Every structure is written in structure tokens, then in C-alpha cells.
Structure 1
């Protein structure tokens, strides 16, 4: 499934370059497929907790940020405002977070991890780590690091194009 060596040549027009490749060798397809695989591995490793990778990301962000408003959380995990509101509502319903209206701006809702949310993060830590490792473990260690660095560069370079840009530090 390795693309032909010249498929990334700059002399070829980008539309022709990708059109000539089978779909399973195109970057967009591979990224989507790898995401599906990671979600399946996360579900397997974290079975029994009934939590999605996105919910885990939000809980992790709250653990790092402390109390945060929906906009800050959306920027921290790359979700749009509608999706973050839905995720927070689900986490609140399960008692993993508390939400309250901000005293200084009544239009703003703040979220905080509950004790149950923190305990859930502790229980998920090993499973989530195993899912991340299993996603890349077929690569030798040095290639894993290079792969993650390449993904970070791609996200950084294209961050402003996404529907919900991350606030990169």
C-alpha cells in the first residue's frame, strides 16, 4: 500500500497526483481510516467506561485547565461550539462534570471535573495509553516519533482551515 515514489513529485499537478492513486493510498482516506482504527482501539481498551475519545479529550482538557468555559474547551480539543455543548451535556448528565453559569458573565457556562470525573480519568489512563500505543505500535519507535511530529506539523500548518481551530501554544 506504499504510494509510488513519484506521487509526491512537485512537477505533477496536485489534482492529477491524487486522482492517479487508488483511494486507499490517498492521504485523506488514510487519515480517516486511521482515525476509525484508533476509535475502535480506544473503545476496546476502555471498554466498560462508556466513554468516547472526544469525551476523554474534554475530561483531560478540564483536568489540565481546571474550570473552563465552553469556548476555551472547544479551542483546547478542536470542537465547534455546538459539539462541545453536546459533549458537556452528556458528561454533566453522567456526573463527570459540573456546569454552572459564570458570575461575571451570565451568558458564559463554566465546566469543572467532578470527583467522579477525576476517578474516571484515573481508570481510563492505562487503557487510553494502550490505545495510543496500539495505533502506532507497528512503526519502529523512531518512526513513531517522526510520525507524531509530522502529524503535529500538518495540524499546526493547517489549523486555521479546520471548523474548530485549536489554540496552539
Structure 2
């Protein structure tokens, strides 16, 4: 085997030691699991995040909602438009500033969020079920540490608590 080929193989193997590569791959896997579990609802993970947040905090404006889930306002605007066209959310002008629109789940949206909880739980469970039960919470906590420590580096800032 020539040295260039051997060096290329070593570099490729080192991908499996690179956190960025592994995080990207794990995200791809999660999206596939999400789509398998949530296919009947016809949503994306970002749409689901919006719906989940609006269930807990109805009436958020676009800027606040974008920060709650860590997406840029342009992406969020497109997501909100799609959810509104489906009748899952409604947007109304804020009382204090008519230019600001607040988002609310419709009855249909709230019913769908409730109906999809089991599917969401299954997707998340399936993602980490290969870990020993006692390691699962620690894994999530370490992910949170990484997200919080690197939050300012993202294209959109996630509001952390």
C-alpha cells in the first residue's frame, strides 16, 4: 500500500475521533428517527420545537421564539408561515406594538402537540437507548454543557436558563 493511501486512510479513520463529525452524524441519525416516529404529523424537528415552546409559552413574538429554540429569525418566519398555513398556529398583533406579531397554538395545533408527545419521546429514547441507562442523563447534561459553552459561536443564539 503506498504511503499516500495509508495517510488518507488514517485521516479518514480519525473522523471518528472528531466531535464535530460525530455530532453532525448523530444529528442526521436523530432526524431520521424523528421522521420515522413523527411521520404521521408531517412536521420537522424545528417545527416541532416551535409547537412545543408555544404550548408552554403562548403568545411569544418572533424574536423571543427564535431565541427559545436557537434559530435565526428568517428561518423562524418561514417555519411560522408553514405552521400558520396548516392551521396549527395563529399570529396576532401585540397590544403594545401592532407591528409585533405574537404566535399562539390553535386548537388543532394544541391537539397535535398533545398527540405527538409519544412519538417525540420514542425518537429521543431511541437516540440514546444504546447508552447504559445510568449514563443517559449524564450524556444529556454533557451535551447541555457543550451547548451553553459554545452558544455564542452559533449562527443563532439559544436562550439558555
TM-score > 0.5 by shorter chain: yes
- 1:77 and 1:144 map into 2 onto residues whose CA distance is 22
- 1:111 and 1:122 map into 2 onto residues whose CA distance is 18
- 2:14 and 2:99 map into 1 onto residues whose CA distance is 49
Match of 1:78 among 63, 66, 70: 70
Within 5 A, what are the aligned runs for 1:22-61?
Answer: 22-61=14-53
Deviation at 1:102, TM superposition (A): 1.8
- 1:46 and 1:21 map into 2 onto residues whose CA distance is 34
1:12 is aligned to none
- 1:94 and 1:20 map into 2 onto residues whose CA distance is 44
Considering only aligned residues, what root-mean-square deviation do their CA atoms show, in Å? 1.3
Cα pair distance change 1:36/1:20, threshold 3 Å:
closer
- 1:20 and 1:35 map into 2 onto residues whose CA distance is 20
- For structure 2, the 5+ residue unaligned runs are 1-10
1:137 maps to 2:93: no
Query: Between Structure 1 and Structure 2, how many residues are aligned?
Result: 151
Match of 2:150 among 134, 138, 158: 158
- 2:115 and 2:57 map into 1 onto residues whose CA distance is 20
- For structure 1, the 5+ residue unaligned runs are 1-18
Deviation at 1:22, TM superposition (A): 2.0
Deviation at 1:26, TM superposition (A): 1.1
TM-score normalised by the chain length of structure 1: 0.85
TM-score normalised by the chain length of structure 2: 0.89
CA deviations over 1:5-53 (Å, ceiling 9, x no partner): xxxxxxxxxxxxxx79622331111101101101110111112110111
Deviation at 1:81, TM superposition (A): 0.6
Deviation at 1:54, TM superposition (A): 0.7
Q: Which one has the bigger helix percentage?
A: 2
2:93 is aligned to 101
- 1:159 and 1:26 map into 2 onto residues whose CA distance is 19
